[in-house]
A and B are shown apart, each in its own frame.
Chain A
Amino acid sequence: MNLIETKALSHKQGSKFLLKNINWEVKENEHWIVFGANGCGKTTLLGTIAGYRHYNKGEVKLFGEVLSRENAVLLRQKIGFVSASYMDRCFRHESGLDIVLSAKFGGFGRRLAITDHDVKRAMQLLDAFGIVEKANYPYDMLSQGQRQRLLLARALMVSPKLLLLDEPLNGLDVIARNFFLNTLQEIADTQNVSIIYVTHQTEEILPFYTKAMLLKNGAIYAQGDLEKIFSVEIMNEFFGYSTNIHWHEGRVQLAISSELRLSKTIWA
């Protein structure tokens, strides 16, 4: 069964296509990288698949069901969604514990149906991510690193089949990045979950990812096996610059060979 299936998915805002004719299939146990420059539609795509954003045209199927306003809340309960750029707008003063618990209901708030077991699990997750002492603190009093850990704890609260990560390392220091990447590796090794990881940094691409999609101006530029996508030919064409690709122990490094800098005339 496909966990994600989009057919001709498009979303237009004003005169601009944020997503254009996205045809994509993610099968069980596949781990994907969604790669592209800033503003190419990565976050919009993930937000749409996570059931938080509507779309104008096409179809999104999650776990074999067509995503609609009627089933979005139920489908969201099977998805772990980590997107600071999205969640920072929706959570402000809510406590860490309430935010983690809200995952159970596929929304932003908690309900009376919260059980002691739920609270225990939420606290165990916060403890595992080293932020249990911040459980009662408002979201806006947490550091960027603590927020990312909190959102990952929230994503794992529902034991998801699908983990959607939208640039999760943004704003993290080197220790937090290391912690986060090691945690992801462990999740991939031990949990029955497919990971979709959105990034524009190749250093974050761990060896367990096998598939990649390149997104440009809201449309799929290329998709397929990771090693084929991260080739010099495709990357040169994708960026429009000469690139260097280096593979080491299953990890890819990408560098732009051309010297890009501000025009000297700006200093005149």
Chain B
Amino acid sequence: MERNDEWVRVERTSAFKELLRAKRAFIIPATIFFMIFYFGLPFLAAFTTVLNVKVLGPLTLAYIYAFAQFAMTWIIMHLYVSRANRWDDLVDRSRVEAAEDVGGAR
């Protein structure tokens, strides 16, 4: 039980709570968005013909949508990584805060 207390101590720090909040605020909407965007292509392709029109020279809407998936992947990836690299500070802070909590409690 002693060991579990240490984990709970980290969990209770404001830095850790902030970390979880920041992660949820980005990861949940980003995941919902990219899943809908991703499955939009096969759904439209499998059940409709709206993607079969030419929009840019010989390029069909299907290809434009497909290339947009590449752009989306790279953009979301970089948005995530730039945030995640900042979250690392919160990890360090939660460690320090938990340690201060140990000092104060004893």
Q: Do A and B come from one complex?
A: no
Residues of B within 8 A of A (CB): none
**Interface on A for B, CB 8 Å cutoff?**
none
